Structure 1
Amino acid sequence: MNAVIFGWLAGSTAVFMAANSALKLYAQNGGLWMLTLALALFCVGNACMVQVMRANGLGIALSLSLVFQLIAITLVALVVFGERPTAMQLAGMALGVVAVGLIAIGGRG
């Protein structure tokens, strides 16, 4: 993955983090405008992902995106919303990182 595609992936992750945060705020406080913002951000994030899919294929792109989002949104949940994942959830995240690493390495062989 070159730097430009990695940039698209990082950008989409940032947009998805904002979208998920807006959706959490909507779930807590309501407000149609917050739901509308979340949905608009999800659309932008998916549009960014198209570039990653073109370069790496659907499977690799979505696997990378999901693990990036998993880690990033967990950090947001910890820092902003005060949520604490259980040990089992942290182990699942670690397995996800290992799985995507194996997928990425497998593509080079």
Structure 2
Amino acid sequence: MTLVGSVLLAASTFVFLLAASFAKSWAVAPGNWKLVATLILYSVGNLVMLRLVREFGMSIAFSLSAVIQLIAINIIAVGFYGERLSLLQISGVVLAIIAVLLITFAPSAR
């Protein structure tokens, strides 16, 4: 993974976390500015993802982004918004992380 790729991955994750937080804020107390901010942030995140696809390839870029966002968004949802996951949901998150890790790192293990 290159330095540029790492920075882009961190940037896209940060932007998507902001977008998810604005989306939650809009869901709790709707407002036009929150909706517009959410749409702009998701658009910016997707533009960064286009560069990541060029850097890593589609499968790796989206897999890495998905697992990082999965972990980070769940931390924010549970820690900041007080949401709770059932044991079955936690199991699903863990299995999703394992699946993405296998997809991402299995080709290099050959």
**TM-score by structure 2 length?**
0.92
Q: What is the 5 A alignment of 1:50-89?
A: 50-89=50-89
- Aligned position for 1:46: 46
Superposed CA offset, 1:23-56 (max 9, x none): 1111110101000000000011111111211122
- How far the C-alpha of 1:107 sits from its partner, in A, is 2.4
- Structure 2, unpaired ranges of 5+: none
Q: Distance in 2 between matches of 1:4 and 1:86?
A: 37
**Maintained 8 Å contact 2:20/2:73:** yes
Q: How many residues align?
A: 109
What is the alpha-carbon root mean square deviation over aligned residues?
1.1
Q: Distance in 2 between matches of 1:37 and 1:83?
A: 23
SS at match of 1:8: helix
Which runs of structure 1 show a deviation greater than 6 angstroms over 4 or more consecutive aligned residues? none
Q: Distance in 2 between matches of 1:89 and 1:3?
A: 34
- How far the C-alpha of 1:3 sits from its partner, in A, is 2.6
- How far the C-alpha of 1:67 sits from its partner, in A, is 1.1
Q: Distance in 2 between matches of 1:90 and 1:40?
A: 30
**Maintained 8 Å contact 2:63/2:104:** no
- Structure 1, unpaired ranges of 5+: none
Q: Distance in 2 between matches of 1:3 and 1:88?
A: 37
**Residue identity opposite 2:81 in structure 1:** F
Superposed CA offset, 1:50-75 (max 9, x none): 12111221122111111111111111
SS at match of 1:30: coil
**TM-score by structure 1 length?**
0.93
